[in-house]
Structure formats: C-alpha cells, structure tokens
Amino acid sequence: MTLPIGAYYVDAQFFQSRIWAVGLMVAVLSSALPYSLDMMALKHLSAKTFGILMSLEPAFAALMGLLFLHETLNVQQSLAMVCVIAASLGCTLSSPEAKSHVLDPENGF
C-alpha cells in the first residue's frame, strides 16, 4: 500500500532487481517463515508449552542483537524484558488449561 509513495521518494537504485531480491528475502525470513513455523509448531505442542516458548522470544531477540549487531541493553531495557517474560509465563502457567494438566496423572504430573 505504501509502495507507490515510497517509490516516488527514492532514487533509481530502488528499481534494481538486486534490491527487490534482498527485500523479498528479508520479508520472508523476518515475517513469513517465522509465522509459518509458529503455526506448524502450535499444531504439535500444547498451548502451555507454546506459550512458554513464545515468552522467551524477547530474550532470544536481545541475544541475537548482542551477537550479530553488537547491541547491548541498559538496565531499564533488561528489566522491561524480564517483566514481559514474567508476565507471559504467569499468564501461561495460570491459565485454566495449565491448571488442569498439573494434576493429570496421564501427563506425568
């Protein structure tokens, strides 16, 4: 939707096929592929397990930023990330589905 507006303000490099190929690769690797993999995983994991794994995403994002981009988090950002993870874990572990599995002997709990 914003492509025509963006195309108006860019130079001739925007119309090179290499730029479009890189843009398509970024779109697939940053959005389409992870979303598809999340949906596939959701079919094979319980909602509780999936929720716990999703709550770790901020930590993995911070780790990837540190490893690949050499970015560091300050104390406030680190505390915010811990709060997001804790809130997600709390919601996941306190859900009615999670509580019903805790005392279910067939699941080994």
What is the per-residue pLDDT across 76-88, written as a single tens digit (0 to 9) for each? 999 999 998 888 8
Domain boundaries along the sequence of the chain: 1-44, 46-109
- The predicted pLDDT at position 78 comes to 93
Q: What pLDDT, in 10s, does the model give residues 17-71?
A: 888 899 889 988 888 888 898 888 888 888 788 888 888 888 898 999 999 999 9
Question: 3-class SS at 70?
Answer: coil
What the block records as the tokens of 56 is 């770790």
pLDDT, position 75: 95
Instruction: Give φ, ψ of 57 to 5 degrees.
Output: -55, -40
Would the pTM of this model clear 0.75, i.e. be above it?
Answer: no
